[in-house]
Chains A and B, each alone.
Chain A
Amino acid sequence: MKYSGTNRPKPEGIWPPTEEMLDVPVDKAEQAKREDRLRRAWDEPTGLAYWTAVNNDKVGAWYSLTALFSMLCAGVLALLMRVQLAVPDNQFLDADRFNQFFTMHGSAMMFLFAVPMF
């Protein structure tokens, strides 16, 4: 049911709480139990449930790491192209393979790294 607007639950007892009410010390065991419940509500999930986290710091980190991984893969393609171009008349990559490499390098770098990261 809706808990806002006119459906707000009516406060029971004295509202707002008075200074005396607020000065009453909380039972230590009760306080510990409340802290524990709060902490567990905000804890990072463990095990396989780790991947269900919705905290956007975490999701952002995964996003950036994936983009970085794509950058490294595209970088490997670039290094292999450099091997081909290192000496004249090299036969390390044939023409067709070289063309595939620079196409994939460009697409991966732009769409999987640059656009997601920046």
Chain B
Amino acid sequence: MPQHRLFQPAILLGLSGCVGRQSVLDPAGRDASTLLTLFVVMLVGLIVLWVGINGMMLFFNTLSTRRYEEATARKLIIGGGIVFPTLVIAALLVWGLSIMPNQRAPGDGLRIKVIGEQWWWRVEYWPAGANAPIIAANEFRMPVGTRTQFDLTSAYVIHSFWIPALGGQMDMFPGRETMISLEPLEAGVYRGQCAEFCGASHALMVFEVVTMEPDDFDAWLTKEAAPAVATTGAQAQHGSEVFLREGCGACHAVRGTQAIGQVGPDLTHVGSRESLGAGILEPTIENIAEWIAHTDDLKPEVEMPAYDDMPNDELLALATYLRGLK
């Protein structure tokens, strides 16, 4: 009995990759489910073949003591070594090609343009028939049940776009546009990340993905397209003044105010995002203040300067203001 208790944690540790918001073994999208089916079929098939071949070798080399005719041996080798593999691999090829998720099937309407920056994600929502995009950053929301098209490119270096729960990766190249389309099947929050080494903070270039029912998504998109909500409360008001006084608007845009900078992530609705700093922090007021004061500690070599000489009360005011930009 005590021995079983020792094994349990070890088994749980091994299975911890099987569920979760970033697991290819726990798909939430159509392409990811197809890939998982392909993986499981190949895994089972390979296990059967491995046991079979090793079993045969064990049998013929060790267990069986009778002599075999040359004709038997020839039939076994030609049948098992040439005909059987050809048939199995051909079947696997035909089946695999037929179910291969069409990662570049055109979307059903919504297009999201993504530009990889160092080290954050520039997002533009282009709903069907739109003339101008809705600009956001570091988080993606899409409707369940329809295929959303992602047009991917990059500013300086190669990144790669990957939402494991929804589908495969697609690289993002500067000067070139690649495309991937994803169809979520469940509403939920998932995690994606940059999958191509892009510099010092590549490991910290993460994003959240929120999949929503179509009606919820439409309502959200309308809110997201609107300019920044009005600030309420004295601290937030003070924070908005600090924001403009310190020149934050030179890099960060907040639609509806004087801040129109395009260098850094758009902050119009930063308060309603699931995470901060491209997926690396919980979006609490303390964390926002911590981020502004120590950007380079949290994200090595980041372009945003660290405002570590800003007095604490101004930092908190700024954080309150930004948290209120829902």
Q: Which residue of B lies closest to A99 (CB)?
A: B200
Residues of A within 8 A of B108 (CB): none
Asked if B188 is an interface residue, CB under 8 A from chain A, the answer is no
Asked if B301 is an interface residue, CB under 8 A from chain A, the answer is yes
Interface size class of A (residues with CB under 8 A): under 10
Residues of A within 8 A of B203 (CB): 95
CA distance A1 to B246 in the complex (A): 90
CA distance A43 to B316 in the complex (A): 82
Residues of B within 8 A of A95 (CB): 200-201, 203, 300-301
CA distance A42 to B203 in the complex (A): 59
Q: Which residue of B lies closest to A85 (CB)?
A: B203
What total count of A-B pairs have CB within 8 Å?
A: 12
CA distance A99 to B197 in the complex (A): 9
Asked if A96 is an interface residue, CB under 8 A from chain B, the answer is yes
Residues of B within 8 A of A96 (CB): 200, 300-301
Residues of A within 8 A of B300 (CB): 94-96
Q: Which residue of B lies closest to A98 (CB)?
A: B203
Q: Mark A104-117, 1 if CB is under 8 A from B, else 0.
A: 00000000000000
User: Which of A94, A95, A96: most chain B Cβ within 10 A?
Assistant: A95
CA distance A96 to B203 in the complex (A): 11
CA distance A82 to B199 in the complex (A): 19
CA distance A96 to B201 in the complex (A): 9
CA distance A99 to B201 in the complex (A): 10
Q: Which residue of A lies closest to B204 (CB)?
A: A95
CA distance A63 to B299 in the complex (A): 43
**Residues of chain B from 3 to 37 with CB closer than 8 A to chain A in the complex:** none
Q: Mark A88-101, 1 if CB is under 8 A from B, else 0.
A: 00000011100100
Q: Mark A57-95, 1 if CB is under 8 A from B, else 0.
A: 000000000000000000000000000000000000011
CA distance A94 to B200 in the complex (A): 9
CA distance A96 to B300 in the complex (A): 8
CA distance A94 to B300 in the complex (A): 8
Residues of A within 8 A of B200 (CB): 95-96, 99
CA distance A99 to B300 in the complex (A): 12
Q: Which residue of A lies closest to B200 (CB)?
A: A95
Interface residues of A (CB under 8 A from B): 94-96, 99
Give 8 nearest A-B pairs by CB, closest first.
Answer: A95-B300, A95-B200, A96-B200, A95-B201, A94-B300, A99-B200, A96-B300, A95-B301
